[in-house]
C-alpha cells in the first residue's frame, strides 16, 4: 500500500448543468444516504490508524450547489492530519467574489479544476449548454486575478474536439491558468448517448503526436507515451506531464458512500459508511484482478508494458467487460 492515496470525492449528485458527455444520469441526492461528513470521518480514521495520508478532489455533481456540505467537508479535511492537499472540481458557473474569499481561508485547498470542452461557444456549448463558455471564462478571470489558487482547465477528448485544444491555449495563458488537463471521453451515464464520439486508436495516436510536437519533445516516440491515460500541458513551461492509471492508489467516493476504483469505472468495491476502507482494500479480489494482465483479453493480456493495463474504464464502458482490450491502444500498429 503506498504512503499517499488520492480520493475523488463526489459528495453530491446535484448539478445545474446536463453536459452531453456526463458520466452521471441521476441528478438527485437521496435522504437515506449517510451524511458525507460521517463518511469522511470514518475514512480518515481508517487512514490515520494505518499511518496513511491522502489528497482529496471534492466534486459532484456540482459541489458549489451544496455549500453547507462543501464547507463542512473542507473544515473536516482542514483539521485532520491524514488529509493533505485539497482541490475542487467544478463547472465554475456559480462563483462570486464572496464565495471565493470564503474558500480562500482553507489552507489545504490549493487548486480548482474547471471544465471546458472547446475554444469557442460552438464546440464548448454543444457539450455544456448555451452560454457556458462565457460564464466559465468570467469565473476563470476572477479566480486567476486573485492569485491564491492554482487553476487547471479539464478538457474531455472526443472526435469533435480532440485537436482543438491547441486553439484554447492562448486564452488560458492570458488568463493565468496553470495547466490544461486532457482526458479521454468514456461513455458512461448520459455519455452513452454520444458513444460514437469515442476516439479510435488512430485518433489517440494523432493526439499524442500533436502533444509531442507542441511540447517540442523531439526525442520522444508516441509509443513511449502509450501507457499514459491522461496528460497535462503546462502553460508556463510548455511542458507535458503524463498520468498513469492509478488503480489501487486513487479511488472514487460516491454520494451513497460507494467506493469505486475510478469514477469512470462504476464497479463497487465496498461502502464506506459500513465497511472499513482498509478492510475493503485487503479483501478486494476485483481490485487485484483489475491490475492483473493475465486476467485481460486481447493485446492487453500479453502487453509488454509493465506500467500499463490499458484503460479498464473504457473497456468496461464499451463492452461491459472490465477485462476487455483497450480499443485505443495502438501498440499493434506501431
How buried is 1 (Cβ within 10 angstroms: 0-12 exposed, 13-18 middle, 19+ buried)? exposed
Flag whether pLDDT at 320 surpasses 90. yes
**What pLDDT, on the 0 to 100 scale, is given for residue 307?**
80
**What pLDDT, on the 0 to 100 scale, is given for residue 312?**
96
Q: Is the dihedral of CA 179, 203, 266, 90 positive or negative?
A: positive
The stretch 235-246 carries a mean pLDDT of: 93
Flag whether pLDDT at 80 surpasses 70. yes
Cβ–Cβ < 8 Å for 90, 59:
yes
Sorting pLDDT into bands at 50, 70 and 90, what band is 334?
low
For residue 4, the cross-strand partners are: 53
Flag whether pLDDT at 23 surpasses 80. yes
Q: Spell out a b/e string for 201-238, using b for 16 or more CB atoms within 10 Å of the CB, else e.
A: eebbbbbbeebbeebeeeeeebeebbbbbbbbbebeee
Flag whether pLDDT at 3 surpasses 80. no
Sorting pLDDT into bands at 50, 70 and 90, what band is 305?
confident
- For the entire predicted model, the pTM comes to 0.96
Instruction: Please give the residue that has the higher pLDDT: either 299 or 195.
Output: 195
Rounded to whole angstroms, the Cα distance separating 205 from 28 reads 38
The stretch 194-209 carries a mean pLDDT of: 97
Q: Where are the alpha helices (DSSP H) in 54-197?
A: 67-79, 97-103, 121-128, 132-146, 165-175
Flag whether pLDDT at 114 surpasses 70. yes
Instruction: Return all residues near 55 (Cβ < 8 A) that are at least 6 apart.
Output: 4, 5, 6, 7, 83, 84, 85, 86, 87
How buried is 178 (Cβ within 10 angstroms: 0-12 exposed, 13-18 middle, 19+ buried)? middle
**What pLDDT, on the 0 to 100 scale, is given for residue 57?**
98
Phi, psi of 305 (to 5 degrees): -75, 110
DSSP state of 301: G
* Protein fold of 4-290: TIM Barrel (3.20.20)
The stretch 38-67 carries a mean pLDDT of: 97
Flag whether pLDDT at 125 surpasses 90. yes
Q: Is the dihedral of CA 35, 36, 40, 46 positive or negative?
A: positive
Sorting pLDDT into bands at 50, 70 and 90, what band is 1?
low
The stretch 27-48 carries a mean pLDDT of: 97
Sorting pLDDT into bands at 50, 70 and 90, what band is 86?
very high
DSSP per position, 187-243: --GGGGGGGGGS--HHHHHHHHHHHHHHTT-TT--GGGGTTEEEEEEETTT--EEEE
Which residue, 67, 62, 83, 48, is CA-closest to 12? 62
Domains of the chain by residue range? 4-290
Task: Write down the mean pLDDT value for the chain.
Answer: 95
Condensed to tens digits (0 to 9), the pLDDT of residues 251-266 reads 999 999 999 999 999 9
Sorting pLDDT into bands at 50, 70 and 90, what band is 4?
confident
Amino acid at each position: 500500500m503506498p504512503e499517499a492515496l488520492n480520493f475523488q470525492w463526489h459528495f453530491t449528485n446535484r448539478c445545474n448543468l446536463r453536459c452531453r458527455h456526463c458520466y452521471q444520469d441521476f441528478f438527485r441526492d437521496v435522504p437515506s444516504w449517510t451524511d458525507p461528513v460521517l463518511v469522511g470521518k470514518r475514512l480518515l480514521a481508517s487512514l490515520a490508524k494505518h499511518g496513511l495520508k491522502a489528497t482529496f478532489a471534492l466534486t459532484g455533481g456540482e459541489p458549489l450547489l451544496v455549500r453547507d456540505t462543501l464547507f463542512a467537508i473542507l473544515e473536516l479535511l482542514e483539521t485532520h492530519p491524514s488529509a493533505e492537499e485539497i482541490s475542487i472540481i467544478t463547472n465554475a458557473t456559480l462563483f462570486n467574489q464572496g464565495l471565493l474569499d470564503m474558500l480562500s481561508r482553507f489552507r489545504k485547498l490549493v487548486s480548482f479544476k474547471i471544465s471546458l470542452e472547446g475554444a469557442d461557444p460552438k464546440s464548448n456549448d454543444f457539450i455544456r449548454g448555451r452560454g457556458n463558455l462565457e460564464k466559465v471564462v468570467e469565473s476563470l478571470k476572477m479566480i486567476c486575478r486573485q492569485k491564491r489558487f492554482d487553476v487547471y482547465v479539464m478538457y474531455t477528448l472526443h472526435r469533435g474536439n480532440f485537436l482543438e485544444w491547441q486553439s484554447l491555449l492562448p486564452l488560458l495563458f492570458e488568463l493565468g491558468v496553470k495547466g490544461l488537463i486532457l482526458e479521454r471521453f468514456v461513455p458512461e451515464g448520459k455519455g452513452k448517448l454520444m458513444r460514437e464520439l469515442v476516439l479510435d486508436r488512430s485518433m489517440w495516436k494523432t493526439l499524442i503526436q500533436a502533444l509531442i510536437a507542441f511540447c517540442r519533445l523531439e526525442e520522444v516516440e508516441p509509443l513511449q507515451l502509450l501507457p499514459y491515460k491522461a496528460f497535462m500541458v503546462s502553460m508556463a513551461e510548455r511542458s507535458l506531464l503524463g498520468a498513469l492509471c492509478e488503480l489501487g492508489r486513487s479511488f472514487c467516493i460516491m454520494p451513497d458512500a460507494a467506493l469505486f476504483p475510478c469514477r469512470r469505472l462504476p464497479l463497487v468495491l465496498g461502502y464506506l459508511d459500513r465497511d472499513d476502507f482498509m478492510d475493503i482494500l485487503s479483501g478486494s479480489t476485483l481490485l487485484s484482478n483489475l491490475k492483473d494482465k493475465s486476467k485481460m483479453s486481447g493485446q492487453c493480456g500479453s502487453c509488454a508494458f509493465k506500467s500499463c493495463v490499458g484503460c479498464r474504464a473504457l473497456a468496461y464502458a464499451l463492452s461491459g467487460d472490465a477485462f476487455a482490450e483497450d480499443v485505443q491502444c495502438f501498440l499493434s500498429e506501431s
